[in-house]
Structure formats: C-alpha cells, structure tokens
Structure 1
Amino acid sequence: MPDRAAAPADPAIERLNALGPEEFRAELAQCLDIDRWVRALDGERPFRDRDALIAAAGRHAAAITDDEVAQALARHPRIGQQAAPAAAGGTEAAWSRGEQAGVTGAAKDDFRAANAAYEERFGQIYLVCASGRSGPELLADLTARMANDPAAEARVVAGELGKIALLRLERLLDRQ
C-alpha cells in the first residue's frame, strides 16, 4: 500500500499563520489597506493552504463597500503618477509602480487629461488593476468607464480593488 504522506507544506502560508495579529495585519495591508478585509482574514487563520487564503481573500474583497473604496482611493496614486513620497520606499509603492509600468512617455500626458476628466465626473481618482496592461489599453478602459453612472462605477472600482488585492497577495506569498 503506498504511503500517503501529507502534501508538502507551503512556507509562505506557515509564516503568515505564525505571525502575531499586528504583523499579519501589516503584511496583508500591503495588498489591500482596508481594515475590515485584513481583520476578516486574520480572523480566519490558520489557513490550510494557499488556495484557502486566496479564496477567503476573494470572498472578503467581493464585499468592499463604497466607504472602503473611498478610503482605499485616498492612498492610491493616479495611473501614471508615482506614489506619495512618504510611501515611495514601501512594498505597496513598489508594487504600484510595477503595476503601472505600461503608462510611459506621451501616454502619461494623455492620462493626466483623462484623469482630470474622470475626477471631474466621479469625484475620485481612476483606479484599475493595471498589471500587464499597456498605456493604450488603460486609456481605452478609462474612456469606456466614463460612460458609467456613479453607482456602476463605484462597483467597478470595488472590483478592481479586489483584483489588485489578489494579485498583490499572490506576490506576497511568492516572495516568501
């Protein structure tokens, strides 16, 4: 009869499970700095594996409220703009710069104008999961979203925050 050994442990999950509450919250806030989301994940520990953590993170991100969107947007740089100097050296700022790498050169000027129009219409910055997308793709997305009504746009932004959170959570786990 074959030996049914347990699946190999995931050092990243083991490390996160072993962190104290404050350290865990600091780690996860790099992915999505929404206190309810971070506390909810902390409350579900220990996670048996990566899939369980990702599933829980997705579930809790799906419940992002309009107030949480507003709080999160206050900490995000505009597409094509660097993170605030106070945060420029942090992991979250580095991830943001990498995610926005498709917006370069003349595209930055186009984004300045498009961002201004978006902010005038919706009263907030344009937020999108920009990872792996080119400047022209992002500009086309922004332009298309200008047709949304404010309530629909709020739900789109909440969904984009969720995508960003899961992408960053994967990065957090992969760097362990």
Structure 2
Amino acid sequence: MTPSSPPGLTRFNTAEDGAARAALHAICGSRAWADALLARRPYPAAEALLAASDAATAALSADALAEAMAAHPPIGSPEPGDPASAREQRGMAQAPSALRAEMLELNLAYQQKFGHVFLICATGLDATRMLDAIRHRLGNTPERERENVRTELGKINRIRLARLLETPQEGTRP
C-alpha cells in the first residue's frame, strides 16, 4: 500500500474472488458491474478503481441496470438491517409524516411509470430535495430517466466504494 492508498485497497486487491465479489455485490447489485471491476484487479490506486466503476456503470446493459436498481429499496423505506441504506437515506428519516407519505405516493407513481424504483444518490440530501427530485423526474421520458438512473447509480457506487476502501479493519471481508 502506498502512502496515499486507502487502507482497504490492498485488502480489496488481494481478497479471494468470492470475498471481493460479495463486497462488490453489497455496493451494486449488478453482476456485470462486479465482473468488470474484478477483471481489472489489482488497482494501483483508488482513482483507478473509481474510474473502472464509472466505466462499468456507463457500459451496463438495460438488463444489468435493472438488476442494479432491483437491489435498492425505495426512498423512504430503507432495507431493515442494511446500515448503508439507512445511512444514505438519513435525510428522509427525520422528515415530517406528510412529506414521507407524499414520497411514498410519488414512489408508487414513479414505479408505475418507469417500471423500477426511483433511484437517487440520497447521501447528503434532505427530504425536501429528494421530494423535489422525484416530482421533477416524473416528467421525464423513459430514455431520459434511464440516463438519470445511470448517473445516480454511478454516484452511489463511488460513495460506497470509497467507504469500502477507507475501512481500516484488517482481516475483515473487503
């Protein structure tokens, strides 16, 4: 590990394929994305891994993108027992009940229109900004929305990868 390398990069680079795949699956539900990242190991620096993630996200087929989206819970309904989901959706957790109810209603309308969960990089966003985003994006065409989803997925993947790479514990799964 070089002085500028995050502590988890060496661990990720040297992990057995099964452990590395499991770590990547916790970040993104797309097998194609994980395969692309695994194929390029070892990474000389975190930036190279993040760039590979960006390229893999950009290259996802419609089916692989749907697979990735299926692993994300709706905004306002984090997966029980999933600390990443709860952490990322923290801005919605403290929202007034009326706002949460409206988000639930708009989530359903979004899923009916587009056939998948509303995906947004919720890290750092408050409930009002998420609500504004879903209202705005409901007016998109399916093609435009697919590109929005790809962009948001890329942001989420980067945040989760950075968190994985910054984890200091040795002897743990990557």
TM over 0.5: yes
CA distance in 1, matches of 2:76, 2:48: 34
Asked if the contact 1:102/1:133 (under 8 Å) is kept, the reply is yes
- Alignment partner, residue 39 of structure 1: 35
- Alignment partner, residue 118 of structure 2: 126
Alignment partner of 1:136 is 2:128 = yes
Alignment partner of 1:79 is 2:75 = yes
The structure 1 residue matched to 2:152, chosen from 150, 160, 166, is: 160
The equivalences for 1:40-119 within 5 A come to 40-83=36-79, 88-89=80-81, 93-103=82-92, 104-106=95-97, 107-119=99-111
* TM-fit CA distance, 1:134: 0.7
Letter in 2 for 1:132: G
- Alignment partner, residue 3 of structure 1: none
Letter in 1 for 2:103: F
Alignment partner of 1:26 is 2:17 = no
TM-score between the two structures when normalised by the length of structure 1 = 0.86
* TM-fit CA distance, 1:157: 0.9
Identity %: 34
- Alignment partner, residue 3 of structure 2: 8
CA distance in 2, matches of 1:136, 1:119: 20
Gaps of 5+ in 1: 1-5
CA distance in 2, matches of 1:9, 1:17: 15
- Secondary structure of the residue aligned to 1:30 is helix
Q: Which moved more, 1:161-170 or 1:9-18?
A: 9-18
Gaps of 5+ in 2: 169-174
CA distance in 2, matches of 1:175, 1:157: 27
Cα RMSD of the aligned pairs, angstroms, is 1.6
Asked if the contact 1:118/1:126 (under 8 Å) is kept, the reply is yes
* TM-fit CA distance, 1:74: 2.1
CA distance in 2, matches of 1:147, 1:9: 44
Q: Deviations over 1:38-70 (max 9, x none)?
A: 111111111111111111111111212221222
Asked if the contact 1:129/1:164 (under 8 Å) is kept, the reply is yes
Larger radius of gyration: 1
- Secondary structure of the residue aligned to 2:73 is coil
